[in-house]
Amino acid sequence: MGITRGIQLPLQVAQYIAEAVGSDRRKLSKEIEKLILCRGKQTIKFSEVKKLIPSITHSSLELASAIKKKDAVSVSKITDALLCSGEHPLLVVAAVLSLVRTWLKLKAALEAGIRDDKKLAEACEIGNPSRLYYLKQEVKDISLTGLMEIAIAFFETECSIKQGLEPSRLKERFLISMTKLE
């Protein structure tokens, strides 16, 4: 068990929090403070933490997967949930775009004929080559052109957000981006 600000965190809880907040120390501090307010010095359960601390990474992966599957209902629900939980639209787009970039690099490397997992991991900047198996499954039915189109759509959405796009229009942009996949 790890101890943070006097609160005991089981390993599973600590790992979830680390994944949920990433390297944002301010957000980490805020989330730990939230746990302390709810549980005091008592050990907190994993189920309680999941309710209190939404994982933008996990939800963004679900969102990217729903977009890839052209599942409009899931795209709509996940986008609404992320925005209602207070996630900034730019963070949502950045998280999804990060995965799309990885897919794009992998698909391009595979189409260029690279088959060695070590070389693929290096070309795609993937630290864990074991992850390649799953990523290959994710890109096998998507065309390189479709991935390029969706990456462009996300870059345009990112620019639009920076220029004042209303958060309520983000869902519309994600739904439109689904149509770009072949």
User: Cα separation of 81 and 151, whole Å?
Assistant: 23
Residues 157-181 have a mean pLDDT of: 88
- Each residue of 86-109: pLDDT tens digit? 788 998 898 889 889 999 999 999
Average pLDDT over residues 24-44: 78
Q: pTM surpassing 0.95?
A: no
Other Cβ atoms within 10 Å of 57 Cβ, number: 15
pLDDT, tens only, 103-150: 999 999 999 999 999 999 999 988 888 889 999 999 999 999 999 999
- 59 closest CA partner among 105, 109, 93, 23: 93
Confidence of residue 56 (pLDDT cuts 50, 70, 90): low
**Separation CA 105–CA 173 (nearest Å):** 23
Q: How far apart are CA 106 and CA 132, in angstroms?
A: 9
- Please tell me the predicted confidence (pLDDT) of residue 55: 67
Domains of the chain (ranges; CATH) run: 2-52 (no CATH), 56-178 (1.20.272.10)
**64, 104 Cβ separation under 8 angstroms:** no
Instruction: Give the C-alpha separation, 132 to 116, whole Å.
Output: 11
pLDDT range class, residue 24, cuts 50, 70, 90: low
pLDDT band for 21, please (50, 70, 90 cuts).
confident
Task: Please tell me the distance from the alpha carbon of residue 60 to that of residue 21, in angstroms, as a whole number.
Answer: 13
> Measured between alpha carbons, how far is 54 from 92 in angstroms, rounded to an integer?
13
Mean pLDDT over residues 31-36, rounded?
Answer: 82
Instruction: Specify which residues 4 forms β-bridges with.
Output: 7
Q: How confident is the model at residue 1 (pLDDT cuts 50, 70, 90)?
A: very low
Q: What percent of the chain has pLDDT over 70?
A: 91
pLDDT of residue 5: 63
Q: Answer yes or no: are the C-beta atoms of 78 and 67 closer than 8 Å.
A: no
The Cα–Cα gap between 61 and 96 comes to: 7
